[in-house]
């Protein structure tokens, strides 16, 4: 029993407040900085983070949260889980270069697959395991960090991915020879290495270690739940260990919570934002009152300030159920920017309601103090509701939406008139939008924003880049071209900056993966489009060529998923506002003579609830939003979309319901699963299963692409099959892009020639 309530967070941003890690990584990768210089930047970021967090008054500071690229890959290597296909490289490469080879690949070794992390905008590199995988603890970095912090008088709580989630987040590697192999079969080999780590940390002076088990905020089988129980029974009885804190971030632990409460672990971390529970219901879980509970009441995934009055009221009820309570964040703060106070352009009434990572740490500390000492007078007052000025025209238009607004002419009718208009060959080759962003283009965009470049000069610079991109695509032989998106920064941020209802940051960078970071816009009010957003650039590109130039728009659900979104109305209402904006842009593009329009929805999977409950309802309104956006398009306008693949049958079904004329799907090394799903679910529209990974520096050869396209043709008829990469090419260099696309075109033409040579009938 305690009358003093602790405060902690589950993780912190790691790229640096000014993206120091990004710059250091890219300098090292490009050969302009040494490994020693990169490691020095990393060391400074680690130590600055510990010192800053300790100074805030947190009673526990998390450690081992830094990563050079990705923490899931770090945890796999912490336990020596080297993918079999990379093992031959390990003795030949420096350890850090070996790590980057797994993360980034090289021509003869494709990287580990890039997978989105629990519906967030973060991606991880997926470890590969097989039945021969062995584990060997490699704890030098963890122990070194802990010792350096102790020397500064700061005791860290090391953060490690829990063993069951580590195995569940991994995939069966291509070296496996067993069709029935399950990564959880490796659990008995892995747990002794965790026990070794616990013993080393205990000897070093650690009193607590955090084990993240986010996979159990998803639906799990009885066998997986039993694996969780046996794991923490075993680890709980380890002969020498610190206290164990097991967290369930990104949702509610559900059936896993009573299991964990029954084991010897001392503490449990609950996400009480995504999975808020009634304290009386929590009290019914056997054993919960004997645990220390880390109450995740401060949102780690959105930027709105905590409602202090209601949150403190909830915590006071919670402490009656769980006497040993620590106020915490719902997730790691990896998903929010560093500091609100460095922003100077956010409108005051919006800024007053925001909290970034530093402010959220302050909220955690303040809530714990108020829970311990009692609230001050200002905390006792229930706040009045804050409403931003509403746009009545927007709301009236949403209220007037009719079911027929979400319906186009039947696909078979559209297909005929589109082919008459476009005259495309079998297996058309195209890309999905962005081309490399050169240093010169980035500098021009920056200079424009800083007032150092006049608009006419910037406009001419972008026009030159567009023309160069069109000429390159013509020379390569692509069938449908794009303008390259040289005027755009991020696919969401660019459009958000042209809309009303959004606010923006200058330094609000959030890591997506490795050195890639984005600045998610803040959607706070009703959304309206003052003027066309893309028509001028696309029209110019189309004027340069007789081939169709595809316009690229960001879809309403992706605009929603990759923004920090207002919380005062249901998501589906905000999605419909965004859909009407896209609908108007499509109408303007059609009026300008654009024949193909791609409405990207790579994030439609991201908002999908982690559990089955609620998924169908979500997919219904998400699909409805897309169909509202595209429902006004003329039959002769070909609508494309771009989606990430998903293992959920419901999402595959939703692809058909979207009613796009062509759907490009991220597949690459998961292409077999995707194509099998397409075949089983009988998708009837055009499909472009991305046949090489756009985020990798690797250049695929013609034979490899030919093989993948031929495999695709077994599931998709040739007259509905497209050839394309699996994503935009913004992060590539031209020396990588050009040969890859030439090989793609050559492979598509091979398939086309074979089809034409086959006897008819």
**Domains in the chain, please, with CATH?**
6-379 (3.20.20.210), 428-753 (3.20.20.210)
Region class of 404: left (phi > 0), else alpha (psi between -120 and 50), else beta: alpha
Long-range contacts of residues 621-624, Cβ cutoff 8 Å, at least 24 apart: 621/571, 621/572, 621/575, 622/557, 622/575, 622/654, 623/654, 623/657, 623/658, 624/406, 624/572, 624/576
Asked if residue 9 lies in contact with residue 329, where contact means CB atoms within 8 angstroms, the answer is: yes
- Distance CA(235)–CA(337), nearest Å, equals 35
pLDDT at 670: 56
Average pLDDT over residues 485-507: 92
Confidence category of residue 371, pLDDT binned at 50, 70, 90? very high
If we measure between CA atoms, which residue out of 296, 297, 292, 298 comes closest to residue 321?
A: 292
pLDDT tens per residue across span 59-81: 999 999 999 999 999 999 999 99
Q: Which helix (H) or strand (E) holds 482?
A: strand 481-482
More confidently predicted of 187 and 648 = 187
pLDDT of 744-755, one tens digit each?
999 999 999 998
Give the range with max mean pLDDT: 152-166, 635-649, 726-740. Answer: 152-166
pLDDT averaged over the chain? Answer: 91
User: For the residues of 106-156, what is the DSSP string, one character each?
Assistant: BTTBPPPPEEE-TTSS-EEEPPEE-TT-------HHHHHHHHHHHHTT--E
> Could you write out the three-class secondary structure of 719-758?
HHECECCCCCCCCCCHHHHHHHHHHHHHHHHHHHHHHHHC
Q: Of 148-152, 314-318, 510-514, 642-646, where does mean pLDDT reach its minimum? A: 642-646
Which residue shows structure tokens 């009386």? 280
| pLDDT over threshold 70, residue 668 | no
Confidence check: pLDDT of 648 > 50: no
- 36: enclosing H helix or E strand: helix 35-55
Instruction: Report, in this order, helix, strand and coil percent for the chain, each rounded to 5.
Output: 45, 15, 40
Pairwise CA distance, residues 359 & 352, whole Å: 12
610 vs 296, more confident: 296
Q: Are 630 and 583 in contact (CB under 8 A)?
A: yes
Residue 627 has pLDDT above 90, yes or no: yes
Contact residues for 161 (Cβ-Cβ < 8 A; gap 6+): 71, 72, 75, 169, 211, 212
> Rounded distance, CA 434 to CA 604, Å?
19
Burial grade of 316 (CB within 10 A; 0-12, 13-18, 19 or more): middle
pLDDT band of residue 760 (cuts 50, 70, 90) is: low
Between vectors from CA 700 to CA 696 and to CA 704, what angle results, nearest 5°?
135
Residue 651 has pLDDT above 60, yes or no: no
Please answer whether residues 484 and 741 qualify as being in contact, where contact means their C-beta atoms are separated by less than 8 angstroms. no
Give dist(CA 194, CA 78) in Å, integer. 10
**Distances in whole angstroms, Cα of residue 507 to Cα of each of 15, 521, 522:** 12, 11, 13
Confidence class for position 730, pLDDT limits 50, 70, 90: confident
The stretch 106-131 carries a mean pLDDT of 90
Instruction: Give the burial class of 510: count Cβ atoms within 10 A of its Cβ; 0-12 exposed, 13-18 middle, 19 or more buried.
Output: buried
pLDDT greater than 70 at residue 405: yes
Strand (E) or helix (H) holding 191? helix 187-204
Q: Is the dihedral of CA 524, 529, 530, 531 positive or negative?
A: positive
For residue 671, the model assigns a pLDDT of 60
Residue 32 class from Cβ within 10 Å (0-12 exposed, 13-18 middle, 19+ buried)?
Answer: exposed
DSSP 8-state secondary structure symbol assigned to residue 434:
B
For 440-489, the pLDDT digits (tens) are 888 888 888 888 989 999 999 999 999 999 999 999 999 999 999 999 88
pLDDT at 416 over 70: yes
Nearest to 368 by CA among 420, 316, 331: 316
Share of residues in the chain with pLDDT > 90 (%) = 76
Instruction: Convert the pLDDT of each residue in 539-566 to its tens digit.
Output: 999 999 999 999 999 999 999 999 999 9
pLDDT at 109 over 90: no
- Give the span between the Cα atoms of 466 and 484, in whole angstroms: 6
d(CA 510, CA 299): 15
For residue 708, pLDDT beyond 90 = no
- Tokens representing 707 are 């093989």
**Per-residue pLDDT band at 164 (split at 50, 70, 90):** very high
Alpha carbons 337 and 343: distance in angstroms, whole number: 11
CB 44 within 8 A of CB 87: no
Q: Is 42 left (phi over 0), alpha (psi -120 to 50) or beta?
A: alpha
**3-class secondary-structure state, position 301:** coil
Mean pLDDT of 7-16: 97
208 burial type by CB count under 10 A (0-12 exposed, 13-18 middle, 19+ buried): buried
Give the model's confidence band at 736: pLDDT under 50 very low, under 70 low, under 90 confident, else very high: confident
Which has the higher per-residue pLDDT, 373 or 379?
Answer: 373
Could you please report the per-residue DSSP string of 511-530? EEETTEEE---EEEEEEE-S
Separation of alpha carbons 453 and 447, rounded Å: 5
Position 228 pLDDT exceeds 50: yes
Distance of CA 47 to the CA centre of its chain: 27
Mean pLDDT to the nearest integer, 596-601: 95
Predicted confidence at residue 645, as pLDDT, reads 55
- pLDDT at 729 (0 to 100): 81
User: Which token pair is 416?
Assistant: 């005929």
DSSP E strand stretches across 529-681: 549-554, 564-565, 596-600, 638-644, 662-666
Q: CA nearest 166: which of 74, 230, 262, 264?
A: 74
Residue 660 has pLDDT above 80, yes or no: yes
Tell me which residue of 620, 629, 685, 622 sits closest to 659, measured CA to CA: 685
Q: What is the mean pLDDT of residues 101-111?
A: 88
């Amino acid at each position: 029993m305690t009358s003093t309530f602790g405060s902690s967070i589950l993780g912190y941003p790691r790229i640096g407040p000014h993206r120091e890690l990004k710059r250091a990584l890219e300098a090292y990768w490009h050969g302009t900085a040494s490994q020693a210089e990169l490691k020095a930047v990393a060391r400074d970021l680690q130590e600055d983070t510990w010192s800053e967090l300790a100074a805030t008054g947190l009673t526990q500071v998390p450690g081992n949260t830094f990563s050079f690229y990705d923490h899931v890959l770090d945890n796999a290597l912490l336990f020596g889980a080297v993918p079999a296909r990379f093992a031959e490289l390990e003795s030949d490469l420096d350890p850090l270069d070996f790590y980057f080879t797994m993360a980034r690949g090289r021509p003869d070794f494709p990287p580990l697959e890039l997978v989105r992390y629990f519906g967030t905008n973060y991606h991880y590199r997926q470890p590969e395991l097989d039945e021969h995988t062995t584990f060997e603890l490699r704890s030098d970095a963890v122990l070194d960090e802990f010792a350096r912090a102790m020397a500064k008088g700061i005791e860290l709580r090391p953060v490690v991915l829990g063993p069951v989630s580590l195995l569940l987040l991994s995939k069966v590697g291509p070296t496996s020879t067993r069709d029935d192999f399950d990564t959880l079969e490796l659990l008995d080999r892995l747990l002794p290495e965790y026990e070794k780590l616990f013993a080393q940390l205990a000897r070093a002076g650690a009193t607590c270690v955090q084990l993240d088990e986010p996979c159990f905020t998803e639906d799990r089988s009885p066998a997986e739940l039993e694996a969780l129980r046996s794991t923490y029974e075993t680890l709980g009885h380890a002969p020498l260990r610190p206290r164990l804190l097991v967290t369930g971030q990104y949702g509610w632990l559900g059936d896993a919570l009573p299991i964990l409460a029954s084991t010897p672990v001392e503490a449990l971390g609950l996400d009480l934002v995504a999975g808020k529970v009634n304290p009386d219901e929590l009290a019914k879980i056997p054993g919960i009152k004997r645990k220390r509970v880390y109450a995740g009441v401060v949102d780690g995934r959105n930027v709105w300030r905590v409602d202090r009055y209601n949150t403190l009221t909830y915590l006071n009820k919670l402490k009656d159920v769980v006497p040993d309570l620590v106020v915490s964040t719902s997730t790691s703060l990896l998903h929010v920017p560093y500091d609100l106070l460095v922003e100077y352009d956010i409108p005051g009434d919006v800024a007053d309601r925001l909290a970034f990572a530093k402010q959220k740490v302050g909220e955690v500390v303040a809530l714990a103090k108020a829970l311990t000492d009692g609230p001050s007078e200002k905390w006792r007052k229930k706040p009045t509701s804050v409403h931003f000025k509403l746009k009545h025209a927007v709301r009236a238009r949403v209220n007037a939406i009719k079911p027929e607004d979400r319906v186009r002419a039947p696909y078979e009718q559209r297909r005929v008139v589109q082919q008459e208009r476009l005259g495309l060959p079998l297996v058309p080759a195209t890309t999905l939008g962005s081309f490399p962003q050169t240093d010169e283009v980035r500098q021009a965009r920056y200079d424009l924003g800083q007032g150092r470049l006049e608009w006419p000069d910037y406009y001419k610079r972008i026009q030159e880049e567009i023309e160069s991109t069109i000429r390159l695509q013509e020379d390569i032989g692509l069938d449908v071209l794009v303008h390259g998106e040289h005027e755009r920064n991020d696919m969401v941020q660019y459009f958000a900056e042209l809309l009303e209802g959004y606010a923006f940051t200058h330094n609000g960078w959030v890591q997506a993966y490795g050195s890639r970071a984005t600045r998610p816009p803040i959607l706070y009010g009703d959304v309206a489009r003052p003027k066309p957003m893309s028509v001028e650039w696309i029209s110019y590109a189309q004027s340069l060529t007789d081939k169709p130039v595809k316009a690229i728009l960001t879809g309403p659900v992706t605009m929603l998923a990759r923004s920090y979104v207002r919380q005062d109305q249901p998501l589906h209402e905000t999605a419909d506002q965004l859909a009407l904006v896209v609908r108007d842009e499509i109408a303007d593009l059609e009026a300008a003579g654009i024949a193909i329009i791609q409405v990207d929805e790579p994030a439609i999977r991201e908002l999908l609830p982690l559990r089955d409950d609620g998924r169908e309802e979500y997919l219904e309104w998400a699909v409805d939003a897309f169909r509202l956006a595209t429902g006004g398009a003329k039959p002769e306008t070909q609508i494309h979309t771009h989606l990430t693949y998903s293992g959920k049958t419901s999402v595959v079904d939703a692809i058909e319901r979207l009613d796009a004329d062509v759907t490009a799907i991220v597949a690459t090394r998961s292409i077999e699963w995707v194509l099998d799903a397409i075949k089983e679910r009988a998708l009837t529209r055009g499909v472009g299963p991305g046949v090489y990974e756009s985020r990798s520096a690797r250049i695929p050869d013609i034979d490899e692409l030919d093989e993948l396209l031929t495999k695709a043709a077994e599931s998709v008829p040739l007259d509905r099959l497209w050839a394309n990469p699996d994503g935009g090419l913004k992060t590539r260099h031209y020396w990588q892009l050009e040969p890859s696309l030439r090989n793609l075109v050559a492979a598509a033409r091979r398939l086309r020639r074979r089809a034409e040579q086959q006897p008819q009938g």
